[in-house]
């Protein structure tokens, strides 16, 4: 969740740290802080509650200036302890050691009691402070900062990525990772660390992606990496394909708006080299994919949040198209029970970042307990923990997604899952050439259909104005559209703070209809499918209760307009693959413009962070 940046360079590192923090702010923005080892070998720190700009203002007011060639910085998403200056990172022990941390130390209370008995004072409510005290204590009996850290991490239970500096070792920054991402950036200006490569793109394109259990000792001219057994090891240097303009706003007001409008290209990029004119290429899923898919008898999907909603759509597709029994479960629930996993199951994990803690741990635990299964991940980040844990990988090629509210990652996940449904169906001879060609044609039409839908933004802005004084909303859909309604409700609640829920339209009479009144708008999705007549009946039930309604329909659905109902035609001739992907677009736009009207922070909604790397 939290963002980390640090490094050692030839010049003053403070501007680099602040620039990197601004790019990492999507990972946490409750508070931010920086520590720099000054030229007179003292740790100089500044911390501020709120956004990075508050920290920048604080630093500008400080005298003497915070400057030096070695430093670490942090933007926080609060777990232990409320957002406050004293809880902000970096933490310092006896003016000697300073730490930034992403993750959770689960046994911090036990360690805290021991450290209090040893005479350590605590100035924060965070779990992180036990880390800095542990390192300070270990330095008394260690030959180096690296050795001290390698010693203390063995006492931690939980997850962490750490950046550590000490006035006793002025030329070094030491890092460690377990369960939380951390990379090293290599530049002619120096060597750097970060939670995400976007923090360092204006400095370097060369990165080392640390693996689980790695530690590293970094100086101006050297990087020495050790694996989880403390053995020195080489890790590959990789060149990033990301460009600075991919993470800049350009002419857009917010990243969410930019990313909504990037969806046509994101879909093109995701489909590229994976389909021909009429064929889904099995090779896109990996060398052994065809054999694995052919032997698959059951599918289990695990995911969280938006990715879970994508998986719900995929369950319909996999059972309808591939005729494959499919289950889906929220990862945080799945990992803490004893699920029955049948032999020849394909376990599919879905995650934008590939670092979602619950999804990752669920995958690891199932792999340990069940040997006769195969794993596939659908992810947007090539060097993530999930991709390293999975046999098969399908990258979504959505590009960087900075806004906390996922948009293009959702639609590219759906496009990827559509490819997967066809691929598995082919391997089981459930999809013939004609059906495959028809689905591929639909996928090829998606970018144009999305572009056409985006052109209706002005109409959606008008709809959004009616939400100015609303505090509740209900979304309705049937079949795959129930999952799309869930995603629409999630987007609205995430960024506008309107309490919104989604229900299968057929479930109205079983309880949810009690919530409907004139102050609760109802948003319904009406594709032209076999459930359309049933949905129209459900809409009549809603209208008889006096609700304001918005219906997004296929042009061929012909939903009869009624009093206080707005019917908006999105497009026409949508099939089972294209319809879910197209109908989420107006819901994304509606959420975005309602949030603007409500005056919320669209890209950084309260209490949320982009990558959920802690439980």
Distances in whole angstroms, Cα of residue 492 to Cα of each of 170, 274, 543: 48, 33, 22
Catalytic one of 315, 408, 604, 610: 610
C-alpha distances out from residue 338 to 293, 334, 335, 366, 423, Å: 25, 8, 8, 10, 30
Does residue 2 have an active-site annotation?
A: yes
Query: d(Cα 586, Cα 487) in Å, to the nearest integer?
Result: 12
Peptide bond into 90 cis (omega under 30): yes
What distance in Å separates the CA atoms of residue 481 and residue 477, rounded to the nearest whole number? 5
Chain centroid, CA 94 distance in Å: 36
Whole-Å CA distances, 22 to 15, 145, 466: 11, 29, 34
- Contacts for 256 with CB less than 8 Å, ≥ 6 apart: 403, 405, 407, 495, 592, 602, 603
Q: Strand 522-526 and strand 549-554: pairing?
A: parallel
- CA dist list (Å): 458 to 145, 454, 479, 589, 593: 58, 9, 29, 10, 10
* Annotation marks residue 379 as catalytic: no
Residue 559, token pair as written in the block: 């939903």
What is the rounded CA–CA span in Å between residue 556 and residue 574? 10
Instruction: Collect contacts of 329-334 with beta carbons under 8 A, ≥24 apart.
Output: 329/300, 329/301, 329/302, 330/302, 330/303, 330/304, 330/358, 331/302, 331/303, 331/304, 331/356, 331/358, 331/359, 331/361, 331/362, 332/304, 332/358, 332/615, 334/302, 334/362
Number of H helices, E strands in the chain: 18, 25
Q: Are strands 43-49 and 31-37 parallel, antiparallel or unpaired?
A: antiparallel
What 3-state class would DSSP assign to 514?
helix
Q: How far is CA 521 from the centre of its chain?
A: 29
CA-nearest of 193, 195, 206 to 164 is 193
Show contacts of 536-541: CB within 8 Å, 24+ apart.
Answer: 536/560, 538/476, 538/478, 538/505, 538/506, 538/508, 539/505, 539/565, 541/508, 541/509, 541/513
Mind telling me the catalytic residues? 2, 610
């Amino acid at each position: 969740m939290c963002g980390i940046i640090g490094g050692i360079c030839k010049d003053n590192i403070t501007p680099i740290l602040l620039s990197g923090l601004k790019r990492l702010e999507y990972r946490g923005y409750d508070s931010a802080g920086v520590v720099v080892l000054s030229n007179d070998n003292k740790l100089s720190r500044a911390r501020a509650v709120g956004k990075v700009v508050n920290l920048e203002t604080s630093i500008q007011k400080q005298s003497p200036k915070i400057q030096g060639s070695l430093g670490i910085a942090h933007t926080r998403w609060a777990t232990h302890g409320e957002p406050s200056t004293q809880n902000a990172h970096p933490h310092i022990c006896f003016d000697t050691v300073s730490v930034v941390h992403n993750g959770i130390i689960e046994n911090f209370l036990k360690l805290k009691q021991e450290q209090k008995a040893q005479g350590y004072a605590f100035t924060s409510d965070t779990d992180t402070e036990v880390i800095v005290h542990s390192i300070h204590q270990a330095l008394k009996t260690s030959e180096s900062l690296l050795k001290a850290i390698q010693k203390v991490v063995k006492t931690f239970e939980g997850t962490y990525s750490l950046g550590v500096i000490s006035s006793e070792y002025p030329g070094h920054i030491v890092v460690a990772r377990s369960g939380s991402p951390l990379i090293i950036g290599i530049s002619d200006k120096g060597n750097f660390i970060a939670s995400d490569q976007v923090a360092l793109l204006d400095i370097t394109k060369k990165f080392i992606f640390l693996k689980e259990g790695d530690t590293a000792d970094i100086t101006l001219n050297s990087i020495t990496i050790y694996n989880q057994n403390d053995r020195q090891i080489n890790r590959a240097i990789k060149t990033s394909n990301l460009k600075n303009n991919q993470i800049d706003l350009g002419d857009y007001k917010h990243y969410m708006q930019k990313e909504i409008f990037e969806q046509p290209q994101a879909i093109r990029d995701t489909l590229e080299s994976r389909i021909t004119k009429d064929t889904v290429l099995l090779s896109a899923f990996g060398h052994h994919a065809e054999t694995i898919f052919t032997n698959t008898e059951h599918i289990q999907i695990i995911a969280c949040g938006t990715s879970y909603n994508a998986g719900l759509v995929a369950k319909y597709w996999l059972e309808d198209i591939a005729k494959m029994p499919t289950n889906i479960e929220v990862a945080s629930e799945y990992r803490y029970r004893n699920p029955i996993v049948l032999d020849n199951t394909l376990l599919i994990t879905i995650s934008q970042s590939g670092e979602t803690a619950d999804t990752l741990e669920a995958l690891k635990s199932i792999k340990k307990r069940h040997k006769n299964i195969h794993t596939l991940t659908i992810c947007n980040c090539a060097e993530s923990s999930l991709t390293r844990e999975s046999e098969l990988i399908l990258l979504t090629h959505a590009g960087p997604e900075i806004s906390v509210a996922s948009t293009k990652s959702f639609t590219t996940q759906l496009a990827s899952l559509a490819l997967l449904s066809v691929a598995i169906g082919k391997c089981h001879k459930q999809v013939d050439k004609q059906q495959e060609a028809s689905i591929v044609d639909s996928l090829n039409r998606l970018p144009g259909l999305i572009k056409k839908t985006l052109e209706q933004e002005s109409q959606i802005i008008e709809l959004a104005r009616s939400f100015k004084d609303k505090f509740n909303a209900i979304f309705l859909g049937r079949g795959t559209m129930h999952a799309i309604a869930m995603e629409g409700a999630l987007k609205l609640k995430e960024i506008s703070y309107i309490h919104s829920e989604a229900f299968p339209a057929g479930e109205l009479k079983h309880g949810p209809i009690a919530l409907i009144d004139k102050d609760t708008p109802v948003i319904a999705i009406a594709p032209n499918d076999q459930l359309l007549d049933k949905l129209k009946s459900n809409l009549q039930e809603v209208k008889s209760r006096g609700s304001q309604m918005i219906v997004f329909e296929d042009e061929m659905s012909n939903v009869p307009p009624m009093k206080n109902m707005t019917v908006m035609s999105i497009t026409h001739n949508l099939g089972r693959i294209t319809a879910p992907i197209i109908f989420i677009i107006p819901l994304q736009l509606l959420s975005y413009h309602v949030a603007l009207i409500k005056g919320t922070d669209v890209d950084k909604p309260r209490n949320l962070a982009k990558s959920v790397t802690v439980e």
